[in-house]
Amino acid sequence: MRFAIAGAYKSSLNWGGILGAGVIGAFAELRGFSFLPGEGWQGIVASGLIYTAVAFLVIFLVRLVIAPFVIHRDGEWHGLRFVYREPQLGFSHYFKPSENNEVFRFRFKDAPPFSAITYKIVADGRSDFFSIVVAAHEKGLIEFTTHSDFQYTGGTVAVNKDRDMCAKAFLRPDADPFSIRIYVHSWEEHADPATEIKTADFEPARWG
């Protein structure tokens, strides 16, 4: 239910529709269709605000009703683990050898804070032409020296409150650029996050 409420709230933030309702309310007041005792600009502003609030509430309630069906459509629960029916794209980049050991940051916001995210690495190029590592913080990334240092196809990472993740790759110097994608297969909620995740030393990766 908590995930349904959170999802309904995020999807209800359709500011185009909400503000559009506010404009309609203000226009109706301006044309004389008043629902409030206020007159002049005060009545126009009040009508706009009320229409805006009502629009948000209606959208939120509708999204809340359909949220459980959307969650069921996307995957299924196995205890505290949510498994997607189709893997969800978490990160994609067209890597070049000139970007070797460069840090790339991303988030997977569909997972709850402090969850354990299970992912799969898919590349358009040859798997023996590159190494890649995924972590929740830059401190968890290794510094590559060759393209064969750390070749693997997936894993699980425990993220922080903001679901920050980062990746670093190393392509063979003579390799042509190719896309590497990280797909999320499942995530598991942790009611009591690990101590190292809650400490002040575990700073989330930030970017502009």
Domains of the chain from N-terminus onward: 2-76 (no CATH), 79-198 (2.60.120)
The model carries a pTM of 0.64
Tell me what percent of the residues of the chain surpass a pLDDT of 70.
56
Q: In this predicted model, what pLDDT tens digit does every residue of 127-157 receive, in sequence order? A: 999 999 999 999 999 999 999 999 989 999 9
Name the residue among 204, 142, 186, 192 with its Cα closest to residue 167. 142
Q: Cβ atoms within 10 A of the Cβ of 208, count?
A: 2
Where b means 16+ CB within 10 Å and e means fewer, 39-78 reads eeeebbebbbebbbeebbeebbeebbeebeeeeeeebeee
Is the separation of the CB atoms in 79 and 142 below 8 Å? no
Rounded mean pLDDT of 108-112? 91
| Residue 173: predicted pLDDT | 95
Q: Distance (Å, rounded) from C-alpha 99 to C-alpha 148? A: 16
Least confident of 17-21, 100-104, 178-182: 17-21
